[in-house]
Amino acid sequence: MADKIVINDLNFYYNQKQAINNLNMSIPANEIFSVIGPANSGITTLLRTLNRLCDLTPGIRIEGEIQLDNQSIYAPEVSVTELRRRVGIVFDVPTPLPMSIFDNIAYGPRLARKKNKKALAETVELALRQAALWEEVKDRLKIQAMSLSGGQQQRLCLARVLALEPEVILLDRPCSGLDPISTAKIEESLTELKKQFTIIISPHNTQQAARISDRVAFMLMGNLIEEGANMEVFSSPKDRRTSDYITGRFG
Amino acid sequence: MKKFKEKLSGRVFFVLALSTISALVLITVFIFVNGMPLIAEVGLFNFIFGMSWAPEQGQFGIFPMIVGTVSVTLGAALLGIPVGICCSIFMAEFAPAMMKNIFRPAIQLLAGIPSVVYGFWGLIFIVPAISTHLGGVGMSILAGSIILAIMILPTIISISEVSLLALPRTYKEGALALGMTHWQTIRHVQLPAAKSGIVAGVILGIGRAVGETMVVIMVLGNSVALPESILDSVRTLTTNIGLEMGYAAGRHRQALFATGIVLFVIIMILNISAQYITRKKVK
């Protein structure tokens, strides 16, 4: 299968501190790619470099290359806003905007290409269905998004990204604050969504990675330790540190 | 002993805190006691909407001064609000750290300049400039508006900037992650979310413009007449008190206190609405 994202010799620094060391990785299209590892492993940093949200942090420096469909995303001619529409992100805490449910989702499409009302409503419904939230909110799309529960807010954020019709979806510990039922719902939709999108997720625990991923990468202190198909990594890890981590000896 | 000290310190703070409130109460009562008899005598309607101010002849109409206050304040708001809000957006969103370190103290300094200095500068610089380029004597609504606009900038800028910076970072990141540009994020997400704080800042700024006295005495010309253009001279409510209190006696003095009541009520309404708006945000 074609590689959607290719990372070559990536080094990432916050001022003097190096957060990612010489990373090489290829992420195939239409799969769920999990990046696992303990805190401070550079995983969030990695996700945020993929749609250049890290640009917002002062004092960062990036070396190496990241390609999306064989094009460098850090090339000067790349439009950052266009890139962020193609590579959507869901954060570890729900981040609804201070507006209604409908507007939260319709916002991106409205800005991207001024759709007519009917098409917009369809986009919103589809996105909410894909994020397994439609049934719960269909009668109250006009209420403030902030008044939803945490799990619902997080699915709203997923729907918001889906409505942009991106190519890649990044999920940074999307279920860390969620109850098991919301988590199950999100996992279910992700498995469905990978037919359409490339999904890169930092799962909040190894069990989740084992349940949903096609491929798994294990990172530790900014280094990529091991990467491979789900079964391989979890049943016969090549590196000692990987097996220690997935068996719960540390992390 | 320790317990006694604790108790005592609590009492001391309470008494000191009480003294600030009692000052407010005393001043309020004093103004009303001195001003109300005249309003009762002349009638509230005649006082507020009366066109003629001639204390010696027993005519106490302050409508021209209300118009004066409103027109100068409106002018200051029209000039000051857009500049102030844009400046706060620049400070909160665009300015690099080094520039902020220059801008912020500079704006605070603007608030620290004594109003008589503003007035003097206006008299020497703005008034002649208006007279030369636009005609008239120069002492005018326009001159007052320009200077007051500058004076209310620090209030508007600092309160708006604080309310923009107080927004959760997730709003900005979430919006940018949706592929919005920086400006779209500011316009559609950050400004609406910080709206109540910004409006409160604007209202407090306007309150400052309404209450300002020294500057307007110096550059408005102080004639008691309805203005026909922004180049005309006007007198504000504050000016009326400031100019005449030195020699006023009897009913004239009461009339000045009554003017103070009107001013007091206007400022109260502005401050209370600012507080109401900020409180609504917390809910």
Q: What is the CATH number of the domain that holds A103?
A: 3.40.50.300
- B276: distance to nearest CA of chain A, Å? 20
CB-based contacts of B92-100 (< 8 A; 24+ apart in sequence): B92/B160, B92/B161, B92/B164, B92/B165, B93/B164, B93/B182, B93/B186, B93/B190, B97/A58
A81 to B170: CB separation less than 8 angstroms, yes or no = no
Amino acid at site A247: T
List chain A residues with CB under 8 Å of B189: 97-98
- Token reading at B277: 């708006």
A251 assigned to some structural domain: no
A213 assigned to some structural domain: yes
List chain B residues with CB under 8 Å of A58: 97
- How many A×B Cβ pairs under 8 Å? 58
Q: Which residues, 6 or more positions from A19, have their beta carbon under 8 angstroms from its beta carbon?
A: A12, A13, A42, A45, A222
**Does residue B93 surpass a pLDDT of 70?**
yes
Interatomic CA distance for residues A47 and A54, integer angstroms: 9
Alpha carbon A157 to its chain centroid, in Å, reads 11
List chain A residues with CB under 8 Å of B97: 58
- CB B37, CB B19: distance < 8 Å: no
**Looking at the 3D structure of chain A, how many domains does it have?**
1
**Does residue B178 surpass a pLDDT of 50?**
yes
- What is the interface pTM, i.e. ipTM, of the complex? 0.80
Locate the DSSP E strands across chain A: 3-14, 17-28, 32-36, 60-68, 71-72, 87-90, 168-172, 198-202, 215-220, 223-229
pLDDT tens for B94-137 read 998 899 999 999 999 999 999 999 999 999 999 999 999 998 88
- CB B80, CB B148: distance < 8 Å: yes
A54 assigned to some structural domain: yes
Alpha carbon A12 to its chain centroid, in Å, reads 19
pTM tops 0.90: no
What residue of B is the nearest CA neighbor of A105? B178
List chain A residues with CB under 8 Å of B184: 111
List phi, psi (to 5°) of A62. Answer: -125, 130
Q: Which residues of A touch B (CB under 8 A)?
A: 51, 53, 56, 58, 81-82, 84-85, 88-89, 91, 93, 95-99, 107-108, 111-112, 157, 160-161, 164
pLDDT tens for B16-62 read 999 999 999 999 999 999 999 999 999 999 999 999 999 888 889 99
For all residues of chain B together, what is the average pLDDT? Answer: 91
Interatomic CA distance for residues B188 and A13, integer angstroms: 32
For all residues of chain A together, what is the average pLDDT? Answer: 88
**Does residue B282 surpass a pLDDT of 50?**
no
Q: What is the CATH number of domain B62-282?
A: 1.10.3720.10
- Token reading at A175: 């279920």
B28: how many CB neighbours lie within 10 A of its CB?
Answer: 13
The mean pLDDT of B148-166, rounded to a whole number, is: 94
pLDDT tens for A142-163 read 998 888 888 889 889 999 999 9
Identify which of B170, B172, B178 has the shortest CB distance to residue A164: B178
- Token reading at A4: 């959607």
State how far the alpha carbon of B100 is from the alpha carbons of B82, B94, B164, in Å.
Answer: 19, 9, 15
Identify which of B171, B174, B179 has the shortest CB distance to residue A81: B179
Q: Is B181 left (phi over 0), alpha (psi -120 to 50) or beta?
A: beta
**Does residue B281 surpass a pLDDT of 70?**
no
> Given the structure tokens 């949706």, which residue do they identify?
B178
pLDDT at B215: 93
Nearest to A164 by CA among A88, A248, A245, A72: A88
Structural domain containing residue A216: 3-246
- CB A227, CB A28: distance < 8 Å: no
List chain B residues with CB under 8 Å of A108: 178-180
Q: Which residues of B touch A (CB under 8 A)?
A: 97, 168, 170-181, 184, 188-189, 192-193
pLDDT at B206: 94
B174 to A97: CB separation less than 8 angstroms, yes or no = yes
What one-character-per-residue DSSP string does chain B give? -HHHHHHHHHHHHHHHHHHHHHHHHHHHHHHHHHHHHHHHHH-HHHHHH---EEGGGTEE--HHHHHHHHHHHHHHHHHHHHHHHHHHHIIIII--HHHHHHHHHHHHHHHHS-HHHHHHHIIIIIHHHHHHHH-S-S-SHHHHHHHHHHHHHHHHHHHHHHHHHTS-HHHHHHHHHTT--HHHHIIIIIHHHTHHHHHHHHHHHHHHHHH--HHHHHHSB---S--SSTTS-B--HHHHHHHHTTT--THHHHHHHHHHHHHHHHHHHHHHHHHHHHHHHH-
Q: Is the dihedral of CA A112, A117, A123, A127 positive or negative?
A: positive
What interhelical angle do B237-244 and B63-89 show, nearest 10? 120
Interatomic CA distance for residues A229 and B74, integer angstroms: 69
